[in-house]
Structure 1
Amino acid sequence: MQPALPSPPNQTPGAPVRRRWARALAGRGSWWWVPLVLSVLFTVSVAVWLELSDRADLESRQRQLITDSLSLEAQITERVGEEQVQLNELAHSFDVSQSPAALAKQEAVVDGLSRLWQSVSWVDADTRLVAVVPDGIDIAERPGLSAHLSAPLRDAFGKPAGRLVVRYAPATLLRQTVPWWLAHEYDVRLVDGYGQVVADPLKAGDHEAPPEESHRHSLEPAMPDTYLELSLHESLRPWWLRLPIVMMGVFLLMISVATGLLRFQMNEVLRTQAALRTEAAWRQAMEDSLTVGLRARDVDGTLVYVNRAFCDLVGFGPEELIGRATPMPYWPPDAIDDSMSRHLRNMAGGAPRDGYEARWVRKDGRPIDIMLFEAPLVDASGRHIGWMGSILDITERKRLEERERHQTDSMAHQARLTMLGEVASALAHQLNQPLTSITGYAAGVKRLLERAGEPDPRLVDAMTRLGDQAAEAGRIVKRIREFLTRRSPQRETMDLVEAAHRALALLGRELRRLQLHVEWAVAANLPKVDADPVLIEQVVLNLVRNACDEMVGVPAAQRRLRVSISRAGSSAMPGASDAEGFLRLDVDDAGPGLRGRSVEQLVTPFYSTKPDGMGMGLAICRSIIEAHHGAFDASAGSFGGARFSFTLPVAGAWPSSELPLDEGQPAAHSQDHP
């Protein structure tokens, strides 16, 4: 293809055509009537168009009238449905065994009377009126027409016990439902099937609109035999009353002349605009290719420009940001004051030249960390008109830095715990000798008292308990030391119920301080289990102590603690081959509960819900239970708090070669055992 030849100098591409038309018109002097005829024809065509437009407007107004009527009918139906739901909830929660005066004290009744209801009537199963709220006002004496809602009442055994009937005024319903703009445009009222007015809150009076400017729509089933009627306030005036033909002809003539004179100039403007659009498209493509967010603000701080990268960063579209002034939608709600102070500093020209870090919030609520650089924005004349900002997303970098810091802290914490384990093992070794001495001294004192003849029984009993407790402490220290040195538990046939009682006896003072009575739910004829008594007592002790700590903030009258022991039974964890071969112990409390945390999260090492906790108590409990081939679980308790459970194998039920693996243990169940 050959390139197009340039136009001759001082000659535009359309000049020959314009000259031909000019010569043709100049040579035909008898065509003076052509503009007049064209004007008349144009005026007639406009008149026809106006007539058709009036008809189209009338149809459009009728469609809009029907649409508004359907919309208002939906709002009224929804409002009546909401009131019915409120009444159903009131009837469902209402206790029919109460006195009639209790109806007026119901919060839903008070809210309904302040909102829409005129009265609430309680009718028993024999259709006798039990109570009316407000009291002392005859329902028949209330002014105006009314509508009714009803809901069935049932007694404590689920049998029908009457109904609650609510009386409300349709006029009040209309006043509360009709939007102001709809009332400004239409006369809205309710009529019955005979055309009689049921409710006319806006006093439309006897105004009767033409059929094409009014519409009725049934409110069935929300309001039986009731119609919603909408009528237009103003009628559509015909076109000949709105547009003088002579003035329109003169105007069209002036427009024709002006169009002919401006045509050439418009062509030049269009060519200039095309060049500007091309340049703007180039600039937009370059800005969209950037990964750095850009924003421009005027001297008042109003956003005047954002690029695509900035919108992707904050999650808002350009239409939501352009023209937005402070506070910005991406500022953190809890740091508005800090963001405003930085904004005022930047508007005063005090932004750091090396940039500064800040935290914003995306539209979806996710926080992001950014690095922001500000620079003055000047126009072509060098006048300062605002500020241009470049924004980098440093959220991932900050997250990596936080992860590295957390890993460093975790490693330091783990090192401290390792050292603590070594110290505990050494301490347990050192405590064995003094505990043995205490046991020996207690036994010696007891024998000396018995030899003295008729000793005080209280002293003998005290020395006996002293020796027993010292021996028990020695066993506990020995087992803990063995556990810390990674030895297997010393299993023996033991009574789980007795071990639980011994563990709670050690916490007797703490339970009395909390005014907490322990409920026991122990099934009959429970077998013994194969376990280490000392370690199992420590597990029960830890679970009960955790429950007590959780109930410190609970009122004393609401504190409850239950220890349940039964066979694992039907609620064993899937995967166990024989759930009957396990006993289950549950500890239920009335504390705040798990608060959405799973058992895996609670037993994670170093995780603790206590400010001074080490995060190892539950983790050690779980390791002890799994070392006994049992399962450890946590769930919602029967008192509204938490339930911690574990299972242990029944003595003799599992041969040592057939003990289930840790991942297939029976899980603690969540039902109560009476």
Structure 2
Amino acid sequence: MKKVIHQYLGQAIKKYRSKALKQRARSYTFLYTPILAIVLFTCAMGLILWTLNYQDKNQQQYTLYRESAFAKQRILLRFAANEDAILELSREISNSASKAQYPESFLKLSTKLIQDSPEILQLRWLDSRQNRIATLPNNPSYSKWSDRTSIKSVLDTELNVIFSEAAESNKATYGRMLGFHPAENETSNTDRQYVFWHVTPIIQNGAVTGGIATLYSGKRILQHMVPSELNGLYRFALVDSSGKELVSSNPKRSSSRSLEHNVTLDKTPIPLTLHVSTYPPPTNLTYRTLLWLVIGLSSFVLWSLWSVWKQTSKRYSIQKDLQTETNFRRAMEESITIGLRAHDMQGKITYVNPAFCEMTGWTRHELVGMSPPFPYWSSELVPDLTQKMAVALKGNSPKAGFEAILQKKNGVKINSRTFVSPLIDEKGEQSGWISSIVDITEPIKARQELALAQERFTTVLESLDAAVSVISLQSGELLFANKYYRETFGNTTKAHLDLAGHEINPEDVGALDIDSVDGFAGLPASALTPTQSDFREIQINQTKLWYEVRRRYISWVDGHLAQLMIATDITARKKVEDQTREQEEKLQFSSRLTTMGEMASSLAHELNQPLAAISNYCTGIANRLKSQQNIDIEKDILPAIEKATKQAHRAGTIIQRIRGFVKRSQPQSVLVNVATIIEDSVGLAEIEAQRYGVQISISFADNLPKVFLDPILIQQVLVNLLKNAIDAIKNIPVKVNSSKLIKLGVDIDNSVSPAMLRIRVMDQGPGIPEDALERLYEPFFSTKHDGMGMGLNICRSIIESHHGRLWAENNAPEKDQPGIGCTFTILLPLDK
């Protein structure tokens, strides 16, 4: 019934959730339009601002490219003008007749060149051997700097190289950029930090007679060659081929927002790059104001929309909770199997649920508006039900409700129980009464059937030929005892405790109930009751009777633990088992006697040999003594006596083994060495084997442990198996240079778990037919024409009594030959 209710409720809730999700999707549709408009407006404004910013940057980049090209052009033109002036100066020198004094034109032109070109630090007139003829300007600070040892060596070395290249090519040549660290007192003067040479050869009559060397300053190139109007707008720097910045117009580097451009001074004889970067542009207040205005307006609109969305969601959540509560109550009322019925204060029906309509067979429209007596009341119970209804409408209805018989519209009667309670409205005031009607027809039938089943079960327990009792583990009280227990043991717990082995102490049991404390720490009884019962056999000393006792812990009707015990009298069965065991012992003893009887002729022959030898030795000794000759006792008498003693010991050993084998004693298991049992068994069987020319080979594994078993019974099994092996091969013809062989092996079989002692007896006989293998251990079945068929049956019983196994199997083929003989395998446990 619960499953059906849950199914109805699940379907109703699922249907409601689907409807609620659709309604929720429709309720938020109106918010999508303003969100889309805000997104489009923000995107449009962002695109406009980005376009304006992009155009502004493009304009700045274009201006930077143009100004960079202009600065490059000015620098290259300045270098070209200087080269022309120096070339003209070299011509004036070459046209001069005497070099002892400066030509007037040289002084004039060189002074003008230095004045017009501030980027030139020094100008030297050199002869063909690079000796300095004149140096301009004659500035003491320059002379002091250039004549410094560390600087002079570098400048002269570089000048020698450049002069050689110019003299060789007859062309003006530029040197590489030289870097110097300023002295401590020259830290503020950076004009001489990076310099380079320019040498123009002086040619007279086709030969180089000297040269004009010009020392350029990298710093002054940027200060005086670049137009001054550009120096205020841009930062210029000279960069070498490796990307290292050598000199710059402004020591402060440009920021990440600056635009940059590189132009190569390709016409300059030395490889330099002019790096041009803009200074950070001033803040565009209009652009930023417009940007933040758009961002602010969009954020405000989004915040407004979010506020509306939040209020709508809160309102929808309240509405959804109300709908959920209403639908859930309606689903419960319509899906519940209990009939619900509402009355006003006068008892008129105002509401019924589907379960009540199904219970009575009347429709909702027919029931609503009815007043007592109702048509679904049974006619003979109308007065009684009218009185109960009047009492219930006064608020005096019993809490347990009252039972009634309802009659459906089709005449079928059902048993019901009605509960009446006040109906409270939303204002907290009583507006009527609500009654719930439960159909108890099936529970009443189940209760009646349960009572009948309990009566039948009690009858079965009372009729059992076994004592059934239940004892409480809380109080030690006998909770139940059947007729057999009461008639045999009385109504006390003494017999229960005796049969249970006194595992429950009455004093301890009583202690569990002190102060109503649970002795099992509140654990559920079901967790302490195993599903299986234990089994034992108990003998009561007073009556000498045997009982088979089965016990288990159960959860009693009050939830506490109790012990159930079933005791069956098995005294007669124990007597039969004792008689059967005595018969088995007699049968085993008879089997040993039979085995000895079958081996009697061999034993007699084996005993005759030592006895005859003893007789011969004694006769020889007597004859030597009667001869009255000189007798050496140590040589003539003692060896014969020792040999006679050895033969007597041999005969005694045979008789002792036979006596031990046929000795009748109670079965007794002891811890013995299995090798001793094997040797005694082979010693008995070897007498029969020697008679037929059969050899017995023994192999022992290393470190064999002692085994707990009955040595006489195991010896009986081994002798029987060896005798059967001898019978199987005694009549088989023997090939040349071969013998009849029986192998007896003892080892540990680790293929089983736990490991067991394994004894195998293997012969080379014809084997056992396949149809006889299955019947080999049946009583009175034998493959021998004169066999009794009890030997192997007794052997298997002995091995199984030791909790072991015995089986036979034919040997597998070897080296392309069919298998011959069979193997009997014994497995015995290693532990007790």
Q: Same fold (TM over 0.5)?
A: no
TM (norm. structure 2) is 0.23
Superposition TM-score, scaled by structure 1 size? 0.28
Q: Higher relative CO (CA 8 A, sep ≥ 6), structure 1 or 2?
A: 1
